[in-house]
Amino acid sequence: MTTSLHRWLHRYAVLTAAVALLPIGMGALVTTLDAGMAFMDWPTSDGQNMFLYPWLRDFHANRDKFVEHGHRLAGSLIGLMSIGLAVLARKCEPRSWMRNLAVGILVAVIAQGLLGGFRVIVDARVAALVHGSFASLIFATITVFALATGSKWESNSQAPQSANAISSGLKFLAIATPLTIFAQSLLGGLVRHLGLALHEHLAGAILATVLTVAAIVASWRSGHSWLRSAAVGLSIVLLVQLVLGAGAWVTRFGFPPSGYVAVQQAPEQILFRTAHAVAAMFVLMMSVQLAARVLRLSWLSGARFQRADSMHGQAGTLETCPTFGGAVR
């Protein structure tokens, strides 16, 4: 694969990740407004073809239908982008696991669309919870694909610092952190969709924050600039998420010490709750990005060690084998 094709595939992957934020943002707004059943049918919208439905007419006439149909259209768009990603990867990407990953992303996006339709057909809030959680995994996977097509993925294999050992503690934190954050997002989904597990969600937030901070510190102390940049990004989104979480709590339950009384479906409540849900996906995404970088560097250091050990073994064989009058070749 030429450098030019590699660069364009990377750019397309980044664009796909950006486009994925459209259905994610619209979906979070649908949940906040409780507009998931604005239409009783799927894949049609009020009996009309989804792509021919007069969507903009609902901007003033029906807020719920405008948001829900916008979510459907955004989902169709990421579906088209995922098809393009799979096609480009097949044509331009020499690594088989990356081609398979692109196909996996496409299959996941299709399944996500079908799951969203199933949620409408059976009117199941549990399906909506799974639908929202699955979206965060797809988004994180697309960003990992973009990372693996970037120049730093390969350039780190040539950097001397990549040979530095990745500690087992860092690897544990890198893997445990996104798993804990995802579990925490599931608890958040229970709060948003079913009105359950509020206190469990708060406890999960504490645990996820502690693990995330530990992973950030360990990544910074590793000395790898590639990990440090991810740690900075994770720090930023974590801080934003904590602020949005506090805002979501106050705008939903009020804040008696200041005399603030929460008003259901007030603009500030819609804003904070929706932004909090979207930011959670960014926190998960950045933690997955950090994990991918840690595992990549760990693999590189292991591969370098194996090569060095192999070369040392070959040298030892040459030194100990009898030559019988000639050099061993």
3-state SS string for 59-79: HHHCHHHHHHHHHHHHHHHHH
What are 73-87's pLDDT values in tens digits? 999 999 999 999 999
| Termini Cα distance of the chain | 35
Q: Enter the pTM of the model.
A: 0.89
Distance CA 228, CA 16 (A): 25
Percent of the chain at pLDDT above 70? 88
| Mean pLDDT rounded to a whole number for the chain | 89
Residue (of 122, 34, 136, 22) closest to 76 by Cα position: 22
Given a contact cutoff of 8 angstroms between Cβ atoms, the answer to whether 310 and 166 are in contact is no
The H helix count followed by the E strand count for the chain is 10, 0
Residue 154 has what pLDDT? 82
Q: For the segment 250-270, what is each residue's pLDDT rounded down to a tens digit?
A: 999 998 888 888 898 899 999
Could you tell me if 134 and 112 are in contact, meaning their C-beta atoms sit under 8 angstroms apart? yes
- Cα–Cα nearest to 212, from 246, 179, 188, 187: 179
